[in-house]
Amino acid sequence: EVLEELFVQMSTIGVVMENIINECLGLPPNFLKEFNHDRSWDFMAALRYFPASNDENVGITEHEDGNCITFVLQDEVGGLQVLRNEEWIPVVPAEGTIVVNVGDVIQRIAVKCDLCNLSSC
């Protein structure tokens, strides 16, 4: 029940973030809402990675998020990094915070709309 409620709340936050990103990118009203209207693809993965040690690293390998938005709930353990200008930058962990990662879909839309000055979006 707790995870189901967390999913509902995170989905609600996702819609709010979608609206904020839509406005910040200067997209036509409801563009992302209409683009991402099929909410059946929304999912939650409950993963917990322990800090790396001298003997092993049980984290996840470098990757890109192929979706619109990813929420990463933080604790005091570091390890999360973001790729910017070909450089991996550590995200300073702050327990109780949520990192909002803009995925590939939003990045591609932003680049396309920037190139076409929103004329074909």
| Per-residue pLDDT at 55 exceeds 90 | no
Contact 114, 24 (CB under 8 A): no
Q: What is the pLDDT of residues 90-119, one digit of tens each?
A: 889 888 899 888 888 888 887 776 655 554
pLDDT of residue 37: 79
Q: What are the domain boundaries of the chain?
A: 1-47+60-118
Most confident of 36-45, 49-58, 104-113: 104-113
Token pair, residue 49, equals 């990675």
| Per-residue pLDDT at 44 exceeds 80 | no
pLDDT of residue 53: 73
What is the pLDDT averaged over residues 43-53?
70
Looking at the chain, the number of H-run helices and the number of E-run strands are: 3, 4
| Other beta carbons less than 10 A from residue 36's beta carbon | 19
Q: What is the pTM of this model?
A: 0.73
Q: Which amino acid is at 28?
A: P
Q: What is the pLDDT of residues 10-33, one digit of tens each?
A: 989 988 999 999 998 888 888 888
Environment class of residue 118 by beta-carbon count within 10 Å: exposed (0-12), middle (13-18) or buried (19+)? middle
Token pair, residue 66, equals 């192929």
What is the pLDDT averaged over residues 35-48?
74
